[in-house]
């Protein structure tokens, strides 16, 4: 049996983390120039750089593209037709959930303002909302939302789950929970004090929180977005923030990167991080473990995990 050919980004960190594997020939390729081979079993594009470089795969034969993000919106536009692509489920859920929880805690407990006070050596007491006893709405109930739910377990919150399809599903604790459908969106929003968005960006979720949906939220509600920026109507959100009625903590924005001078930067009651949810020290070991598993699947003649686009076999 011939060796599998696997391309990894030229940055040596991932190559070192994956290590040597019997029966695998590794090569470096960033999809930004001539390919070092004509045929690949697995191509791992760089984490940064977007989907456009995937068009270079039309010049080679490849069996599987292993994407390094969970989200893959925009990928199909550049991926050669029929080519199998796996996303990075199992890699980013924990880190993204950590950030979602951190953003919620920071916004609830006034951390941004306390940091500003500290910068000017000002001691100013404030009474702030807790996370405890809040009604939290999780929009999307995939891996990230389940990881958020698990991390909220000790915070004494009341959780409602919402996804495209109503169902009953097992959470990470092994409990079977109710997931309501998007047809209940406005009803669920009206009862939510904190909304955490962790849905993929699709035609069905683009603009999901539009002006009417935001208007359904009670005064003072907090929106935490670790999904994709276009899930929320930015103009409608800015209007709600500028009025002082709603609050937001955003790891993703629309547009992104958020340009200097955009009204979101100066809107009151908003905390913004630059799309860093999955980019933590947990990424490299989890990404390398996924690549090693995918290699094992192919070596054993099995279908790879996490297939989201294209066909296999």
Distance between CA atoms of residues 266 and 238, nearest Å: 10
* CB-neighbour burial class of residue 141 (10 A; exposed 0-12, middle 13-18, buried 19+): buried
DSSP notation for 247-280: EEEES--SSSSPPTT-HHHH-TTEEE--S-TT-S
Residue from 35, 36, 74 nearest 58 by CA: 35
* CB-neighbour burial class of residue 100 (10 A; exposed 0-12, middle 13-18, buried 19+): buried
- Asked if residue 181 has a cis previous peptide bond (ω within 30° of 0), the answer is no
How much of the chain is in helix, strand and coil states, percent to nearest 5?
30, 20, 45
| Catalytic positions, written as ranges | 228, 256, 275
Cα separations in angstroms, 282 against 210, 278, 285, 287: 34, 8, 6, 9
């Amino acid at each position: 049996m011939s060796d599998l050919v696997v391309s990894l980004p030229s940055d040596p960190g991932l190559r070192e983390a994956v290590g040597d594997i019997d029966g695998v020939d590794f090569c470096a390729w960033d999809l930004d120039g001539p390919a070092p081979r004509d045929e690949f079993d697995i191509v791992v594009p760089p984490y940064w750089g977007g989907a456009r470089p995937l068009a270079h795969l039309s010049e080679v034969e490849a069996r599987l593209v292993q994407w390094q993000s969970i989200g893959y919106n925009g990928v199909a536009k550049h991926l050669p037709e029929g080519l199998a692509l796996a996303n990075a489920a199992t890699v980013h859920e924990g880190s993204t959930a950590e950030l979602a929880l951190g953003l919620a805690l920071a916004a609830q407990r006034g951390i941004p303002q306390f940091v500003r006070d500290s910068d000017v050596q000002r001691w100013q007491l404030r009474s702030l909302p807790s996370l405890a006893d809040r009604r939290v709405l999780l929009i999307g109930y995939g891996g990230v939302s389940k990881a958020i739910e698990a991390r909220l377990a000790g915070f004494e919150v009341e959780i409602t789950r919402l996804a495209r399809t109503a169902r009953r599903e097992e959470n990470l604790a092994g409990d079977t929970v109710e997931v309501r459908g998007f047809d209940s969106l406005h009803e669920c929003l009206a009862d939510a004090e904190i909304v955490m968005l962790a849905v993929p960006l699709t035609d069905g979720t683009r603009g999901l929180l539009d002006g009417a949906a935001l208007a359904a939220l009670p005064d003072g509600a907090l929106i935490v977005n670790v999904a994709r920026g276009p899930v929320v109507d930015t103009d409608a959100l800015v209007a709600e923030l500028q009025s002082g009625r709603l609050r937001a903590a955003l790891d993703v924005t629309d547009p992104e990167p958020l340009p200097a001078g955009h009204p979101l930067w100066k809107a009151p009651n908003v905390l913004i991080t630059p799309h860093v949810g999955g980019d933590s020290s947990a990424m490299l070991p989890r990404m390398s473990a996924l690549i090693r598993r995918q290699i094992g699947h192919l070596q054993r003649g099995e279908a790879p995990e996490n297939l989201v686009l294209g066909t296999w076999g």
